[in-house]
Amino acid sequence: METALVKSNGKGKDITTSLIVAEIFNKRHNNVMRDIQRLECSHDFYLLNFEHIKYLDSKGREQKAFEITKDGFSILAMGYTGPEAMQFKEKFIAGFNQRESLLNNEDYLIGRAITILKARTANLIEENNKLQIAIASNLKKVEYHDRVLQSETLFNTSTVAKQLGFASPQELNSVLSEHGIIYKKNNKGPWLLSAKYCNKGYTGFKTWVSDDSKVANMHMYWTQKGIRFLHEELKEYVLC
């Protein structure tokens, strides 16, 4: 079966390919690819007339090739000489011209428009599916942010220590202090979050008034966002 030298791509353009050129001119495909990449044409011309594509070879491996327009072929084929090469050039040009003559055929134009429409519809459906997946993923993140990270619920260090698998709140505080996450002012008073981690929504404070002294004391608590932060920072310690 004779190879069709020129065909219509998914965008409705008449093209040949580097694979077809290699077959007809009896060249190795990688040599044709090299010839295209070494063309001394302008960058704009190159982009307009040589488009990278991918295909599966006989072993099912993904390989690279080029789609080539009529103008692109004309420039490429200038470097192919000899009697047989001239015959091949004429066949390619005749193939392109035959495709162009079909533009005067209404049935062909309608069929071509339908093909282009189907290809564009398929691309739109694929893009829409990707968009829906991205939207669903973002909605989950937003829901988690609104429901959990923005929650006003605060957890004391004892509760957080148990969640993270520490034996006691004192052990957790010791590790956090070693990592520079919390500190005590002048080595006394309540634990405080280091400046580096402030204003990120990791902690909150509650005020307690002692029945004996009637003195108000501030105690630091952790938010859900803070607990998630600790999970990431203390991966080597976390048991759960």
Task: Sketch the domain layout of the chain as residue ranges.
Answer: 7-104, 105-150, 157-233
210 vs 84, residue with greater confidence: 84
Specify the pLDDT at position 11: 78
Percentage of residues in the chain with pLDDT exceeding 90? 22
pLDDT, mean over the chain: 82
Specify the pLDDT at position 131: 84
pLDDT digits (tens, 9 = 90+) for 45-85: 999 999 999 999 889 999 999 999 988 988 898 888 877 88
Using pLDDT thresholds of 50, 70 and 90, give the confidence band for residue 148: very low
d(CA 124, CA 127): 5
Which has the minimum average pLDDT: 109-113, 179-183, 197-201, 212-216? 212-216
* The token pair that represents 79 in the structure block: 């470097």
Using pLDDT thresholds of 50, 70 and 90, give the confidence band for residue 152: low
Residues making up the chain, counted from first to last = 240
Specify the pLDDT at position 129: 85
**CB neighbour list of residue 206: distance below 8 Å, 6 or more residues apart:** 154, 218, 219, 221
199: alpha, beta or left? (left if phi > 0; alpha if psi -120 to 50)? left
